[in-house]
Amino acid sequence: MQALNKLRQLDQYPKINEDFYSRTLSGGLITIVSSVLMILLFFSELRLFLSVEKSSELVVDTARGEVLQINVNVTFPALACSVVSLDAMDISGEQHLDVKHNIYKKRLDSTGLILDAPKPDAINQPKIEKPLQKHGGRLEHNETYCGSCFGAETADDECCNSCEEVREAYRKKGWAVTNPDLIDQCKREGFLQKIKEEEGEGCNVYGSLEVNKVAGNFHFAPGKSFQQSNMHVHDLLAFGKDSFNLSHTIKEISFGAHFPGVVNPLDRVERIQETPHGIYQYFIKVVPTVYTDIRGRRIVSNQFSVTDHFKEKEPGKAQSLPGVFFFYDLSPIKVKFTERRTSFFHFLTNVCAIVGGVFTVAGIIDAFVYHGQRAIRKKIDLGKHR
């Protein structure tokens, strides 16, 4: 009874009975329930006030002459680093063949572990110490080594002091290296032997490249690329293989800087090549995006959607260039995301509405319960007197 009396004292909806207030047990229960509900709704509103809401807006992208940053991180478990190369080109005619700037490679063994790479290895090959003299013969006083480019030099004083430099000179001429053993630098460096030793290795290619902000493509393909009769080709004959395993795992393909909530649909995509010939094609639609956080900091980036396709070699037709191709196009619509917080006055208004609304509704319920109890008691009393 003492506990019930204490609960009755909590009644915030006292009933006027002639000249005095009366507190009821039901009123105390309703007070507790309404108070708990007020507290829960208050903290719910406080959480919304402290959280950040994000609004979106679509506008026409009027930017011109900008640069598009493409971040790549792709692993080829069955393609050696000495074989794979990265090229980029766009509809304006600009080409970046065998991209080396800000692009790195890591050699991987058959289990995916990194081989002898304490730091990222650049694509460039090291130079050999004593290349073949361009004009042969012994070195004279003050004479330095100058390797022959085997007819691919563009100037009389041009030197090719490594197999990679000879291949680069051939690429600029639009020639393919068909037999590396005929090139002294490649023979000394053991070019073919190195390819055989790396058989079964994988390669992780990662980094970033900057291209014009227009439609284009970039692709990973075996061999060094060059232009021949206005066609993009790769020197595959030097490897002595008619097929390449282009199975790959995409750790990251993104366009621009990271921003909160961005989803890159190609991340963690894995493809296993089951046929000896074919190319992988990814068709990407890039949507320019500007994200403004709560502090007013603008992040200019991009989102994208993608569809992919594996194109097998058709019987009776020549084999197209094997590789993993990413074709991208840009949307003319830009998305703007802006972070905002609810204003304090809006929060205060909602808190007052919560307190007043719950208090009023609880009072109506208490009055309904109280008068209902009184009506029931009167009927009970009338029945006893009869």
DSSP 274-307: -SSSEEEEEEEEEEEEEEE-TT--EEEEEEEEEE
Taking the mean position of all CA atoms in its chain, how far away is CA 53?
23
Q: Which residues pair with 218 in a beta bridge?
A: 88, 326
Q: Which residues pair with 20 in a beta bridge?
A: 17
- Closest by alpha carbon to 168, among 202, 203, 123? 123
Looking at the DSSP bridge assignments, the partners of residue 335 are 58, 289
What is the chain's mean pLDDT, rounded?
A: 82
The answer on pLDDT for 169 being more than 80 is yes
Q: Work out the angle at residue 319's Cα, subtended by the Cα atoms of residues 314 and 321, and round it to the nearest 5 degrees.
A: 125
Q: Residue 205: pLDDT above 80? A: yes
The per-residue pLDDT for 118 is 44
Q: 299-319, pLDDT tens digit by residue?
A: 999 999 999 999 887 765 656
Flag whether pLDDT at 90 surpasses 60.
yes
pLDDT at 126 over 60: no
User: What percent of the chain is modeled with pLDDT above 90?
Assistant: 32
Instruction: Tell me which of 92 and 191 has the higher pLDDT.
Output: 92
Q: What is the pLDDT of residues 10-35, one digit of tens each?
A: 766 666 655 556 677 777 888 888 88
Question: Binning pLDDT at 50, 70 and 90, where does residue 284 land?
Answer: very high
pLDDT digits (tens, 9 = 90+) for 343-380: 788 888 988 998 888 888 888 888 888 788 878 888 88
Least confident of 107-116, 185-194, 250-259, 331-340: 185-194
Percent of residues, the chain, with pLDDT higher than 70: 85
Give the pLDDT mean for 121-135. 46
Helical (H) or strand (E) element with 34: helix 25-50
